[in-house]
Amino acid sequence: MLEVLDQVLLQPLLLIYGSVWILPQPGLQLIAFSVLLNLALLPLYYQMEQRSKAARAIRQRVASEVARMKRHFRGRERYFYIRTVYRHYRYHPISEVLGSADLLVQIVVFLTVYRFLSGLEVLVGAPFGPIADLSRPDGLLGGVNVLPLLMTAINAASVYYYVEDRGKRLQAWLLAALFLVLLYRSPAALTLYWTLNNLFSLVRNVVQRKFAANGRLSLLPFERLAAQR
């Protein structure tokens, strides 16, 4: 099964990644790679965000109806009325897990990018600015790896700016802390990519909020194209 998944999904993505790796300077190419990949995924992320909003709206309506049923009914009567609410909204509690397509996409992107960058020989010994070797941890601050810390800080800021629910915000921060632990000793190329990726996400969220706050078009150009499909 894993071999089939590798051949059908992972290998084609790795070929696509390799096809855009054309610049002679690895550091600049890494920046270009991050920007191009994020631009390519924007319509997909927009569609997933719209589905997530619709799912949240249904979940809120279901919760409201279920709470009302629990106030007025007991026993088997309550059970059957709640089942009716679920059928009416085509909702099942387990769908929260099975419907996490956005999480699946993020996992696939993470794994394929990690595999792609970890296997690039061109990064071995390649310097970029103050980074002496992109294939090794950056050690920019007296042996302390700065890029993973910067990556986590940007991610935390993005979560604070974008996630309003306190519980989900805390979960996202804990996940960011876990990524810090897992990626702290990773090659500078990988942590630089994820730092740029998190920065791109933060800028996107800020721009979207600004458009909405000014009462202008609520969709960015790439989102209008995705919405028209």
**For the segment 98-117, what is each residue's pLDDT rounded down to a tens digit?**
445 556 677 788 888 888 88
- Other C-beta atoms within 10 Å of 46: how many? 20
**Contacting residues for 77 by C-beta, under 8 A, at least 6 apart:** none
Whether 167 and 159 have beta carbons less than 8 Å apart is answered as: no
Residue 101's identity, in one-letter code, is A
pTM of the model: 0.73
Q: Average pLDDT in the 32-37 region?
A: 90
Distance CA 78, CA 83 (A): 9
**Contacting residues for 131 by C-beta, under 8 A, at least 6 apart:** 27, 138, 140, 188, 192
pLDDT in tens, 118-162: 878 889 999 999 999 999 999 999 899 999 999 999 988 888 877
Above 70 in pLDDT, residue 218?
A: no
Distance CA 197, CA 155 (A): 9
Domain boundaries along the sequence of the chain: 2-18+25-228
Q: Average pLDDT in the 167-181 region?
A: 86
Whether 166 and 174 have beta carbons less than 8 Å apart is answered as: no
Residue 17's identity, in one-letter code, is Y
| Percent share of the chain, pLDDT over 90 | 22
Distance CA 143, CA 137 (A): 9
